[in-house]
Structure 1
Amino acid sequence: MPKSHSSNNTWRTFTNSPLLARYCAGSGVFMRNVDVIIPVYNGLEETRRCIETALATVDSAWARLVVINDASPDPHITTLLRNYAADNPQLVLLENEHNLGFVATANRGLRYDSNNDAVLLNSDVEVANDWLFRLREAAYHHQRVASLTPFANNATICSFPDFCKDNNLLFDLDVAQLDSHFATHFSVEDVFSIPTGIGCCMYLRRDCLDDIGYFDEDTFGRGYGEENDWCQRAEQAGWRNLHLGNCFVYHKGGVSFAQEQTPRVARAMELLDQRYPHYHATIGSFVVQDPAREVRIPVLLGLFAAQHRPKVLFISHKLGGGVQEHLNELAKLYAADALFLQLVPEQDGQSVTLGIFDQGRRLRDGLYFDVDSEFDKLVALLRELGVGHVHFHHTLGLHPRIWAVAGALDCDYDLTIHDYYLVNGNPTLTDAEARFVAESSPEFDQRCAGHYPLPDGISAQQWRLNQRPLVSRARRVIFPSTDCARRFQRYFTVAQPVICWHPDYLAAQPYPQPQWHHDNSRPLRILVVGAISREKGADILEEVAAALAGSPVEMHLLGYAYRALGKGIITHGPYDSAQAKDLIKTIAPDVVWFPALWPETYSYTLSLALRLGLPVVVPDIGAFVERVAGRVLSVVCPWDRSVREWQLFWQDVAAHGMDQKPGLAAVDTTDEMHDFYADEYLRGVAVISGVVSATVMAGLRENFRGAGHELTSSERWLGRIWRFSRRPLVARLVALVPFGLQQAIKRRFSARPMHDIVR
């Protein structure tokens, strides 16, 4: 947890005196001078920034730069380095006659002055403030330090904000701002033992170099793995590798040898395994323990609170899917204007996790709260973080008290309707056979309960009555389609309805005009996209594919179904949304089919097909109708067609093509509908900046937890079982198990959707 840094201020002034700069009061020993060693090969602008920031921050009374040109192929780099050397006496330039590679070049710098400590600094690293002072101070404050590594945005086990990830700079802050926060809130005491230092910025004590030697040039050649090997040798000799919590640098990553990293990484891992059989197990154990979270999370919270921007709390379920895609979309859309947090259930009805977004990406670190016992603690934190608005996206799995968060924060809230859970507990309005139940059906609620049972003793009427306060008190109720608004308002009175397609619609305008490319020289290629449940038409997809066996038709599924489907479907497996466009282009479908059996409220997979200019076939319920109205090569079909009717339809398309006339009349999408997210969404949200108090922060340590992104051991087992169930013989046996029992077994392992587990 944060420690006061005020005691270090006097010491820092004292040690800035040239006569006394080498004495470290913390350890009672004199500190050596320091060479900052910068091997250079490629990356002109990165090298310029590295050297400029180092020159601006290194005290020439006790430190200098040793820059080594490893026979760079870029003459501009050679000129740049020679100019720096001519203009800056605190910079020593060494030039390799031939390219030696990173390891030999680093060793040349380490040997340059055998009296000095060294900092190995990659040429794509930027530094700020008195970073080197803090590194040297910590290297001598602690006993037997071999290496010391600060935080960086791209430093594997020393990364911030996301551990073991390549990150952008948090909230678009600069290096100096981020480093200042680390330096202000943490001290020389805040170090963590790590299995290996990280070579992008690594302080090396000379007495350890004298003891164990330099990097292994013969084994690690061009580079990668040399610092891991050196740190393991140091550890075996009784030295310590530490991660320092009060310093941050920026590392771009991959500049010097980006194109050859992958094979060299693989080879380095093999060599490390051979030399240190327990190395990777040690790394794995460290990752699980993740002790530096005690620094990362307070810094993350402190920086979030300090930003002078509107701050919005999303509240949703934990099932991912289109709801999560929309939240990610909003956070990315407003990344320059606002900050976002997300609250989701951890254990249904009991606890929640709180995560923070940065530039449209939910960060890995978060906090866990038991709602019954820690609701007030959660509210106190949200208040000090500066939350000025709450946006409900779903209530599935939430403790009822979370509904009161906006009131406790004395702010307004919005409610977006992503499905029909509030109507009668059934998100899809489908019956036990996963088929749409029309609202006009006299047994509407009973049939819906056959698929999604309500809690014992609660009728559908009582359920709606319980949801009414959440709906009626919302500042705005937002509907992603006119169809959704119409259905929902059959059951609830909405004072301030907003009908607006999700922002991805305007971001992709104009959609390309679809073209028909199929001819009779090859089979018609039909594609279904997504995680296909029974409601989304998995069973009808399988049955239609079987009926089309022998026809000139190929049926493809990019994604997966709730169970393994028949061999008549070419299944491409789970996909990452960032890769979807390229994967679809590789499949090259003639048409995308949406066999949904429920009234979807928007459909991001439809957006994907429209952005790619592909012909589509959609059902005549839900948002599909309005979203393809007026578009050519967009056929609207009855949602409840029989297998035989679908068979005849697709055979006709394969033989004669699709109708190229526009479909239904285009929906009149008003300017107000489109302007909502551009102009109105953040209007009126209070802008609150401040600090998370020491009292609140001190009470949070037991709440530190990842924000629900990592798989539990049960979920990992579930993923293995799922993959095993895809095998043809096993799939046939699984098909004999009733669907309800399959779902019950799956829920025993995890409430998370399968696409979050098997991706």
Structure 2
Amino acid sequence: MEKLHWSVDSLVLRNQTYFGFGWAFHEEKVIVGVKLAVKTKNGSFQAIPASYGNPREDVSSHFSGKQNALHSGFVMYGSCKADAENGDNLFLLIEFADGASVELPVSVSSLISLEKTSANALPLAKQFWAFFKRGLSLIRQLKFKLLVEKIQRYTRNRPSGSLNDVSNARDQLGVTGSQSSVLIIDHDLGGGANHYRERLVAEKIQEGKVVYIFSFHIATLSYVLMVRKGATSETLSIPGYEFLIELCKSLKIDEIVYNTGVSFARSEEIPQLIIELKKELNSKLLLLVHDFFMVCPSHFLIDDTNKYCGIPDLSKCQSCLLNNHNGFTSLFSARDMHQWRALWGTVLSVADEVRTFSSNTLELLCKAYPSIDLSRAVVKPHVVEYIDFGAVKPSQTSELRIGVVGQIGLHKGAQIVQRLSEEIMSQQLDIKIVIIGSIETQCDASVVTQTGHYKHDDLAKLIESSGVNVMLFPSIWPETFSYVVQELMEMKLPVASFDLGAPAERLASYQKALILKNFDVPSVLSELVMFHKRIYSV
């Protein structure tokens, strides 16, 4: 296909787990799926689905005038029992909207095996060169701010050293066995969960405690331990779960906090890790429910049809999981929902406190685990004192301008926004959509514009200057809180959302709220038009 352009910029492998990124677009056809496929020598076939539709400004600049180039980025991350290093063949499988597909061979020479090097040796030449080329493109476009943001994202909490010997770990960490400390298990993907963690870390440090954050660094496929003492912070790679247990035995861990285990390799071993730590340390165990990872590996409860599942019976969950590529399901190689619920059910049973941030989240947790005693569960909404936005007055109200805030991927409603823009075009309406942030799918630029990544302090200013007057929160899963919705409410803006999760729970008592009846896009558009007229009496 001469009109198909693509590249696998980086691909790394450790312990049968792959992480890579690149881009692909066709000048005329629409790509609907990208997978990393591995064909074994005995003829079997395994695939790791990629998240497709990420903005690639460097590709768009290089292929100037090609509309499909901008949202051509993909990221792949998952486990696969096949072994590309020992003769199995790698392919990039591209799927098109018309049902056609094409297999593109990926050279094994482009694969970086992290089994043969340490995390500290990264970035290796191949991986570094991929980022360097992207950086050069942004420099040529004078997009220095975006370049800095991407560098910070890539280097965020990258291991600066390693911790491999438990016997001298305390000396290396500069702590004593009697020093009170807290262990937090958490991803490092950003977002609301990390925001909550950082506030919790600050509180614990103020109490004079040392905080250890056990996480997983995806770019280097390595387990890391972030050590926070006073004003100092250090990130060290460690061998894995077994090492962490032995290390914690030599430390005075008063409390174990599970923030979220999303994105960890060997994800089915996280509940076993928590149970073992609780048993060995006899520490208080606090479970925080920022997502539904304790319910399903598809932690946003998005099923194999890309819709919110509603937590059906376990037999249906099992059938769904076998075909579900959402979230980080491919990291759970067993694909056994009975095993998953049994493991996490045990964790819930031994927890000293289960903390949710909305009543809806607790209700869904109880639905998934009807036989578990969740009397230790408490509903404690997030503290949002940091939000100091005043009321925001839209710069114009005569024409409907729909505002959407955030990085809008599948679970955040990217397909809803895309179809909404198509419906606006179909009806030839003078309605625009502005993404304060970016969207991970191709939308017609005549209807949808994007600001790109923004600083939190600039949100109110961007909303005012964009001309939007009705805010749409298009998330298709029952969010456990949503800082965005809270911020929009603090700004006294009209907000519309689906009848899901904590956002709808809070908007029910908000004067300028619209709870959308269903996901039918023509109906959504009609409701938004009427909502705009009601709010502004136009």
Conservation of the 8 A alpha-carbon contact between 1:483 and 1:622: yes
| Structure with the higher fraction of residues in strand conformation | 2
Q: Distance in 2 between matches of 1:358 and 1:658?
A: 52
Number of positions where the alignment pairs a residue of Structure 1 with one of Structure 2: 357
From 286, 289, 303, give the equivalent of 1:414. Answer: 286
Conservation of the 8 A alpha-carbon contact between 1:581 and 1:608: no
Q: Which residue of 1 aligns with 2:400?
A: 524
- 559 and 419 in structure 1: CA distance in 2 versus 1, 3 angstrom threshold: same
Q: Distance in 1 between matches of 2:339 and 2:160?
A: 46
Q: Which residue of 2 aligns with 1:353?
A: 224
Q: Which residue of 2 aligns with 1:547?
A: 423
Q: Which residue of 2 aligns with 1:390?
A: 256
Q: Distance in 2 between matches of 1:437 and 1:641?
A: 14
Q: Distance in 1 between matches of 2:261 and 2:208?
A: 24
From 162, 181, 187, give the equivalent of 1:317. Answer: 187
Query: How far off is 1:572 after superposition?
Result: 0.8
Q: Which residue of 1 aligns with 2:502?
A: 623
String of CA shifts for 1:32-70, please: whole Å, max 9, x gaps. Answer: xxxxxxxxxxxxxxxxxxxxxxxxxxxxxxxxxxxxxxx
Q: Which residue of 1 aligns with 2:147?
A: none
- 595 and 426 in structure 1: CA distance in 2 versus 1, 3 angstrom threshold: same
- 448 and 615 in structure 1: CA distance in 2 versus 1, 3 angstrom threshold: farther
Pairing 1:235-274 to 2, within 5 Å after superposition = none
Are 2:368 and 1:491 aligned? yes
From 293, 306, 310, give the equivalent of 1:438. Answer: 310
Q: Which residue of 1 aligns with 2:382?
A: 502
Conservation of the 8 A alpha-carbon contact between 1:472 and 1:495: no
Residue type of the alignment partner of 1:402: L
Query: How far off is 1:536 after superposition?
Result: 1.3
Q: Which residue of 2 aligns with 1:467?
A: 344
Query: How far off is 1:418 after superposition?
Result: 1.4
Query: How far off is 1:353 after superposition?
Result: 0.7
- 529 and 458 in structure 1: CA distance in 2 versus 1, 3 angstrom threshold: same
String of CA shifts for 1:377-421, please: whole Å, max 9, x gaps. Answer: 53256x0xx432110012232554532234333311100111112
- 388 and 544 in structure 1: CA distance in 2 versus 1, 3 angstrom threshold: same
Q: Which residue of 2 aligns with 1:563?
A: 441
The residue matched to 2:192 in structure 1 has which SS?
helix
Pairing 1:54-133 to 2, within 5 Å after superposition = none
- 583 and 364 in structure 1: CA distance in 2 versus 1, 3 angstrom threshold: farther
Query: How far off is 1:653 after superposition?
Result: 3.9
Identical aligned pairs, as a percentage? Answer: 18
Query: How far off is 1:650 after superposition?
Result: 2.9
- 581 and 311 in structure 1: CA distance in 2 versus 1, 3 angstrom threshold: farther
- 486 and 513 in structure 1: CA distance in 2 versus 1, 3 angstrom threshold: farther
Q: Distance in 1 between matches of 2:285 and 2:295?
A: 20
Q: Distance in 1 between matches of 2:322 and 2:220?
A: 20
Query: How far off is 1:599 after superposition?
Result: 1.0
Conservation of the 8 A alpha-carbon contact between 1:419 and 1:428: yes
Conservation of the 8 A alpha-carbon contact between 2:499 and 2:515: yes
Query: How far off is 1:332 after superposition?
Result: 3.7
String of CA shifts for 1:542-572, please: whole Å, max 9, x gaps. Answer: 1212322443322111222223433121111
Conservation of the 8 A alpha-carbon contact between 1:390 and 1:414: yes
From 326, 329, 333, give the equivalent of 2:199. Answer: 329
Conservation of the 8 A alpha-carbon contact between 1:437 and 1:447: no
TM-score by length of 2: 0.58
The residue matched to 1:560 in structure 2 has which SS?
strand
Unmatched segments (≥5 aa) in structure 2: 1-157, 164-168
Q: Which residue of 2 aligns with 1:647?
A: 525
Query: How far off is 1:526 after superposition?
Result: 1.7
Conservation of the 8 A alpha-carbon contact between 1:529 and 1:558: yes
TM-score by length of 1: 0.42
The CA RMSD measured in Å over matched residues stands at 3.7
String of CA shifts for 1:337-371, please: whole Å, max 9, x gaps. Answer: 35433111246998521113478x9x763111112
Residue type of the alignment partner of 2:354: V
String of CA shifts for 1:49-105, please: whole Å, max 9, x gaps. Answer: xxxxxxxxxxxxxxxxxxxxxxxxxxxxxxxxxxxxxxxxxxxxxxxxxxxxxxxxx
Q: Distance in 2 between matches of 1:579 and 1:409?
A: 44
- 332 and 615 in structure 1: CA distance in 2 versus 1, 3 angstrom threshold: farther
- 347 and 519 in structure 1: CA distance in 2 versus 1, 3 angstrom threshold: closer
Residue type of the alignment partner of 2:474: P
Residue type of the alignment partner of 1:565: C
Q: Distance in 1 between matches of 2:465 and 2:203?
A: 28
Q: Distance in 1 between matches of 2:347 and 2:378?
A: 16
Q: Which residue of 1 aligns with 2:511?
A: 632
